[in-house]
Structure 1
């Protein structure tokens, strides 16, 4: 579904919008208009829309590997095989990209809110401003995901020239869909977040709705992807000043408490979900599994032997989404990620002891006290590698690893080359443009001003 066609569909669903009422003031029978402030607040309560995020990165990241599971390779269909092998093209012209469509649906809804909520009826100024600010945060979050899927890694020297994604800020059916530059998209993300920050409350009603911790956390993730590590660490620390609770995994081992649902999970700062593509259970790579101690409670709780899945496979798979039904995989900003972003910034700044102290604080909640051994580093570079390894252990199976692979691919000392054998052919991912997803051909055919990525 193209953006223009998507906008038309949403307008039909929504009925007459507030912008239409400027010309036709008579309310139409049996059609629901966005008229009151509460209408826009209800839009922001749409869990099925705003909680969704990209899921295909679970297939392209090096968290998984099917080399030893040739029988399972046939389960990758409908473009998933292309994503797994980092092919030049992912989709044919008759296929859509659900991630692209879903994120632009979120942006369209946010644009409806920012365009109209301040003129809505029966709401206080504070209520209208809060809805506007929430929409800004949700729009920024969607754009941060889009720009890190469909554009090159941020590079200060080239960001103003590298093509980003269409930057839509109003619910305009006829907006120019020419891709804005990477720099323009990041500038808008930062603008939305910084403008929303002073308006939002210290604490949210629940973690579907952004408050100050979520804004600081999204700023932190944004600066991380821009390789502005000091600013990423600073904003992570600010997010943690509002929300810093860690789950102690000792409480969830056999016979312990039930793992909390996402909207009640105190680690989650802004709830976002990703569903396993095609509901596939895929084996975790040996490269990842070998980074775990078997005493690590994340290994015990969040992975299972391949015989636990259907179809079964050799090795171990991610069990995160199966700990409770219907919650999928949590990919929103969370307390552990903020601790690790802050630790990475400290390590890159030469503050190795402070960085390792944060890592140990996290790990103490991931091991039984009787088995835990504190980590240490003799150099800042060693501390950085410890932090990056801990990110792999803490965030595995969520697809967030793909975004780390992208940003680290531009650092020669940290870039890695990945290889996979699929149906008898070996594929290799090297630093470069294969870290950029292709834009679905259907969108380009129907909107020719959108140019394709170099692959």
Structure 2
């Protein structure tokens, strides 16, 4: 069967083979959390060792991608489904079984393991081995990365946060020690979020305000993640406070009129050349899905106004009348952005303000974002005195602005808890109409079979 490749796919075909090989090698390994320590291996003991662990961008800066595949942003030609990994096919088709192994589970727990090794190691250092500032920054980074991993795991493998039931709803295993022999136990959703908050608040006191490199943590990154997390909890007061703290220090946006819709990706590389909106660089775990002609959901593409520069900067015609996504904030053609950025924080705060009926302030944030996205002189500021209307507009702009960043799934989960914002997802696959109703059990991914077998923790219902 002949595959259909779009412009994006052709330009990055050389990356497919290494990714496939890497995936195969990883999938052949014994479960990461089940590994027994090898006494012959070098144990990290110095700040240089700990920094080297943090510098492993492939592991530490990765974010889950199956939730993006399961969401409503992209569609895939039927004939290309057979070339995907089973976890990707089943995520896309909302199948109850995702597979025995999942990188979306294993990679965050690798991050947790590295973070715990660092946190334990730093405590063993004598004062003459490092300066206090170095120790603080290493420890702060480890706490941030652990919190980010726990948050990402909770978005896929635990129920959305519901205050009334959070103390009894099963969350994720909270691995707080590096001992791989320690038995996994599922915490509650409340305990999961409490741990994330504890780690982030502790990290904030140890980190610099801005990072020397945006691959590392900072107070800005902590505030951005706190704002995202509190929004997922429907805690608009604390989400706004974190956004306020962030925007008081960093409030600049890219004027999209300064970019050109040419080449593979119109955005500067976040690490190399710098994207002023990116405060923390992360990317979504590589998936074969990205290489086999996914195209933007026509409903989403058609929601952009003709004068909205995102329509030409984020998407490109693949030659078949469909549009592929090219506007990654990574700046790379083969990596989807999974980090933290200023545009998201503006949208977080705008929603919080609107939820608290401060409509003028909410629209000020929203209009500031949009005037930087529209062709110069074509944007008419949005005005409204209706709270429901303003919230609805902000939610639509979230979907348009934050496409392909792994955020939409969390938004669907939290918004499905409100009758007025519930969404039923649907798509045709091989002539069959499939649907995912609001609050369905499939909004919580199954824990990998090998983890269930090894630890005995309870599986999520399907």
TM-score normalised by L of structure 2? 0.87
1:181 is matched with which residue?
188
Contact preservation (8 Å) 1:136, 1:192:
yes
Counting only pairs closer than 5 Å after superposition, residues 339-354 of structure 1 correspond to structure 2 as 339-354=346-361
Distance 1:300-1:254 versus aligned 2 partners, 3 A rule: closer
> Among 257, 263, 269, which residue is 1:261 paired with?
269
Contact preservation (8 Å) 2:35, 2:180:
no
Cα offset for 1:358?
0.6
Cα offset for 1:294?
2.2
Cα offset for 1:325?
3.7
SS at match of 1:129: helix
Counting only pairs closer than 5 Å after superposition, residues 3-18 of structure 1 correspond to structure 2 as 5-7=31-33, 9=35, 11-12=37-38
Q: Distance in 1 between matches of 2:192 and 2:409?
A: 20
> Among 423, 439, 448, which residue is 1:440 paired with?
448
Instruction: Structure 1: give runs of 5+ residues left out of the alignment.
Output: 17-30, 308-312
1:300 is matched with which residue?
312
Distance 1:314-1:258 versus aligned 2 partners, 3 A rule: closer
Counting only pairs closer than 5 Å after superposition, residues 220-369 of structure 1 correspond to structure 2 as 220-254=227-261, 259-263=267-271, 264-275=274-285, 277-278=287-288, 279-307=291-319, 314-321=321-328, 324-325=331-332, 328-369=335-376
Contact preservation (8 Å) 2:154, 2:171:
yes
2:420 is matched with which residue?
413
SS at match of 1:269: strand
1:80 is matched with which residue?
88
Cα offset for 1:9?
4.6
Q: Distance in 1 between matches of 2:125 and 2:160?
A: 39
Instruction: Structure 2: give runs of 5+ residues left out of the alignment.
Output: 1-26
1:27 is matched with which residue?
none
Counting only pairs closer than 5 Å after superposition, residues 2-41 of structure 1 correspond to structure 2 as 5-7=31-33, 9=35, 11-12=37-38, 32-41=42-51
Contact preservation (8 Å) 1:343, 1:355:
yes
Contact preservation (8 Å) 1:140, 1:192:
yes
RMSD: 2.3
> Among 92, 96, 102, which residue is 2:107 paired with?
102
Distance 1:277-1:194 versus aligned 2 partners, 3 A rule: same
SS at match of 1:363: helix
Cα offset for 1:65?
2.9
1:26 is matched with which residue?
none
> Among 111, 123, 135, which residue is 2:116 paired with?
111
What does the per-residue CA deviation read over 1:327-351, in whole Å, with 9 as the maximum and x for residues that have no partner? 6111211100000000000000001
Contact preservation (8 Å) 1:274, 1:331:
yes
SS at match of 2:428: strand
SS at match of 2:311: helix
Residue 166, structure 1, aligned to residue 192, structure 2: no
What does the per-residue CA deviation read over 1:389-445, in whole Å, with 9 as the maximum and x for residues that have no partner? 110110012231111111111111111111111112221111221111111112212
Contact preservation (8 Å) 1:4, 1:173:
no
Contact preservation (8 Å) 2:426, 2:434:
yes
Q: Distance in 1 between matches of 2:116 and 2:32?
A: 13
Q: Distance in 1 between matches of 2:174 and 2:330?
A: 38
Q: Distance in 1 between matches of 2:199 and 2:330?
A: 35
SS at match of 2:295: coil
1:60 is matched with which residue?
70
Deviates most, 324-333 or 226-235: 324-333
Contact preservation (8 Å) 2:269, 2:332:
no
Cα offset for 1:7?
4.3
Q: Distance in 2 between matches of 1:359 and 1:120?
A: 47
2:405 is matched with which residue?
398
> Aligned residue pairs: how many?
428
Cα offset for 1:33?
3.3
SS at match of 2:420: coil
SS at match of 1:329: coil
SS at match of 1:79: helix
What does the per-residue CA deviation read over 1:260-296, in whole Å, with 9 as the maximum and x for residues that have no partner? 2112211111111015520333111122112111221
Contact preservation (8 Å) 2:139, 2:206:
no
1:215 is matched with which residue?
222
What does the per-residue CA deviation read over 1:82-139, in whole Å, with 9 as the maximum and x for residues that have no partner? 1112111122x4xx10111111000000000111112225212231122111100110
SS at match of 2:404: coil
Cα offset for 1:5?
4.1
